[in-house]
Amino acid sequence: MTLATTFGIDGPALTARERSFHREADPWCFILFKRNIENPEQVRRLTADLRDCVGREAPILIDQEGGRVDRLGPPHWPAHVPPLEVAAGQGLDARAEALRTRYARIGADLAALGIDVNCAPTLDIAGPATHPFLRNRCYAEAAGEVAVLGRAVADGLADAGVLPVMKHMPGHGRGAVDSHHDLPRTDAPRPGLEAVDFAPFRALADPPMAMTAHVVVEAFDPTSPVTTSAEMIRSIRGESGFDGLLMTDDIGMNALEGAVEDRALRALAAGCDLVLHCNGNLQERERVANVLPPLTAAAAARADRALAQRPALKEAAHAR
């Protein structure tokens, strides 16, 4: 049975132990980072090896946002200015067209490597309190603009045959600290959150996959970050209308407390479909695999719906 997780790996090639572990654990998908990237031929070999481990066309994810969070870069792939700066000063239509073109090119680079899922668009709204780790990864400071530009990003990736993952639900822009190191909180009132922060996600409720935010939204749940909050996951499913595959942000980030396997279990208990384990070593991944269940029936159905889009996207991309 396919495990309800996404795993990273340690380096640019699978070790014998990693190969054996992934074959037995059977994670639903994999995610790549800079530590896994050397050159195009090596990445194509790695993506093929990962799929061979599990005996199926497992999704392979990456964070190629364009800008500071890029796993592919020179000399083999282009450098990108941060998304907030793309076509800055131009009208919304021009910015949207620039972003769609950019992400179609990014998607083509990924597809050529065997990477078929990109963790974008970022639908967080840049505001005065947004921590620098996130701010220039955003697209705009207004909810309506973020929705339009996020749609352009998702469409650009689809143009290249790559599935998008919108993030960080239901909005991370009010976070004043870096969730890699600390737990952000917001005490914004519920009406403001629903009218502003949540709005881009409602507008783009149709993408097949999304990622949670490690942030406490006190108006909904003052004790738990979104990733482990049943109340917030109900809001994402209900008020935001998202019925796709919901994965956590990296459970290894310091915004979450406790042993990593406990974090994983709390996220699934709250209603996330899939646990994203990006870093840590193989021993840690083994601990997570030992406690995680297979995908639930509901999660498996959402996963199947997401993967059903891949052939159509690839066929359309080839036709172009």
For 146-201, write each residue's pLDDT tens digit.
999 999 999 999 999 999 999 999 999 898 888 888 899 999 999 999 999 999 99
- Cα gap 24→286, rounded to integer Å: 10
Q: From 271, 276, 240, select the one nearest 256 (Cα to Cα).
A: 276
Domain encompassing residue 169: 3-319
- Cα gap 5→65, rounded to integer Å: 22
Active-site residue flag, 116: no
- Summarised one tens digit per residue, pLDDT across range 55-81 is 999 999 999 999 999 999 999 999 999
User: What pTM was computed for the model?
Assistant: 0.95
197 near 170, Cβ under 8 Å?
yes
- Cα gap 313→118, rounded to integer Å: 13
CB atoms within 10 A of CB 34: 12
CATH of the domain at 144: 3.20.20.300
Predicted pLDDT of residue 176: 84
Exactly one of 180, 182, 243, 262 is catalytic; name it. Answer: 180
Active-site residue flag, 168: no
Predicted pLDDT of residue 318: 65
Q: How many domains does the chain have?
A: 1
Residue 30: pLDDT band (50, 70, 90) is very high
Exactly one of 116, 249, 250, 273 is catalytic; name it. Answer: 249
